Amino acid sequence: MSLSLFRFCPVCGSADFQPHDARSKRCGACGFTYYLNASASTVAVIRDAAGRLLVVRRAKAPAKGTLDLPGGFVDPGETLHEGCIREVREELGIEASVGKLLFSLPNRYVFSGFTVPTIDAFFEVTTPAPELARASDDAAEVMWLFPHEIRPEDFGLNSIRKGITLLLTDYF
Q: 21: which residues sit within 8 A by CB, 6+ positions away? A: none
The series of mean pLDDT values per 10 residues for the chain, 172 residues long, is 87 97 96 95 96 96 94 97 97 96 93 88 94 93 97 96 96 85
Instruction: Answer yes or no: do 112 and 164 share one domain.
Output: yes
Q: What is the C-alpha separation between 86 and 41, in angstroms, rounded?
A: 12
Before 62, cis peptide (omega within 30)? yes
Q: Domain range for residue 16? A: 2-35
Q: What pLDDT was estimated at residue 31?
A: 97
Q: 111: which residues sit within 8 A by CB, 6+ positions away? A: 61, 62
pTM of the model: 0.90
Q: What pLDDT was estimated at residue 1?
A: 55
Instruction: Answer yes or no: do 62 and 123 share one domain.
Output: yes
Instruction: Answer yes or no: do 60 and 100 share one domain.
Output: yes
Q: How many domains does the chain have?
A: 2
Largest pairwise CA distance in the chain: 61
Instruction: Answer yes or no: do 87 and 152 share one domain.
Output: yes
